[in-house]
Structure 1
């Protein structure tokens, strides 16, 4: 089944998304730097770009930069006067991302803030509100990131939370079959954090939310989408 998912995703990439040398180079550079291949797919990246355009976003906050693949897409979506602030814990990741952003021609639109995201978020009140949030960092802190997104938003702001299905393990809080994670592991904490974030999305009085399952090169996963009301 995974081979079919991958084949369809590759077909959609070729026919709908289209080739993009800057993005392919960003993936290569990220891999060569020894960073994990966990960036969003090309189709998902373009979804983020189109979502930013649909929303008319001019200020975007991303939590989790990695090599800057999704950051490039978001920067393309904010228009000529738009800005993206991206939070990245690892300084080396930020350095790779900055080079990728430069090659893609969008570095002037992006400000990468290095350090623990929760520390950075607490310093962004004067730069709020943001029009669009993309949360794709350590999953154990998803509830905290979501809480900050609401604090830094305004009515009409859009929040995207990635990796919310986790091969189905989010359904009962158990680690998915075949996972090497064990009790008390990081994976367990990621599942717990994701479940808490989903529960918050469904119960928060200022959020109207949904969640969508996805399949593809990243396996069986999904994302949540919320609008601040």
Structure 2
């Protein structure tokens, strides 16, 4: 199978199940115009996250990595009017593009973007008493994934769902001898999930318009 086949299948899924959305299309266009990297989730992946939140009945979300706000829009749309997404973004330029996209989507009242290193902003977030979060989406720099998981557990409750994106690394996650910092971070992330009795977790490989990748899913038990 080839990337062309994966693209065609994703295109078919989106054509049949996810109507063209001018707000999301504009968000991607603004991301490209701003020179942001094309690391956003695919439309069917965004809808998958959206449906997970709906099924869970989530009201509060913590997102690691805002980028242009594409996934943030999918998350915020799944919440009730008094719901809240707190999204952590290191790059001020990304945050500026994201705020514009989120405002155009009519979701500024649901989304709170915090700019800076996540490991610097998380302690303040903890002190504010916003937690626990119902759903946590980790989609940021992979070397810090172990630290993000530790914080996710601090800010969670029994029943919180924690999703880790981009964990397959084109198959390199299975290479115990890898010297790639991203792979090392993801493998440490899995080690922590496996060793923590508070978590029940799994992971899936995926193919599609975003290539060969995958995600992890963990449920906080206690």
Deviation at 1:166, TM superposition (A): 0.8
Structure 2: which 5+ residue stretches go unaligned? none
For residue 220 of structure 2, what is the aligned residue in structure 1? 228
Post-superposition Cα deviations, 1:44-85, rounded to whole Å, max 9, x if no partner, equal 101111111111111100000000000000000111110000
For 1:136 and 1:12, how far apart are their aligned partners in 2? Answer: 23
For 1:210 and 1:16, how far apart are their aligned partners in 2? Answer: 26
TM-score using structure 1 length: 0.93
Post-superposition Cα deviations, 1:80-100, rounded to whole Å, max 9, x if no partner, equal 110000000000100000000
Deviation at 1:174, TM superposition (A): 5.7
For residue 203 of structure 1, what is the aligned residue in structure 2? 195
Structure 1: which 5+ residue stretches go unaligned? 176-182
For 1:173 and 1:217, how far apart are their aligned partners in 2? Answer: 27
For 2:191 and 2:17, how far apart are their aligned partners in 1? Answer: 34
Instruction: Show the 5 A alignment for 1:179-194.
Output: 188-194=180-186
Instruction: Show the 5 A alignment for 1:91-170.
Output: 91-125=92-126, 126-170=129-173
Deviation at 1:104, TM superposition (A): 1.2
Post-superposition Cα deviations, 1:142-192, rounded to whole Å, max 9, x if no partner, equal 0000110001000000000000001001011466xxxxxxx5xxxx11110
For 2:15 and 2:121, how far apart are their aligned partners in 1? Answer: 37
Instruction: Indicate yes or no: 2:40 matched with 1:39.
Output: yes
Secondary structure at the aligned position of 1:210 is classed as strand
Q: How many residues align?
A: 218
For 2:78 and 2:190, how far apart are their aligned partners in 1? Answer: 26
For 2:176 and 2:210, how far apart are their aligned partners in 1? Answer: 20
TM-score using structure 2 length: 0.96
Secondary structure at the aligned position of 2:6 is classed as helix
For 1:77 and 1:173, how far apart are their aligned partners in 2? Answer: 38
Which 4+ runs in 1 deviate beyond 6 A?
none
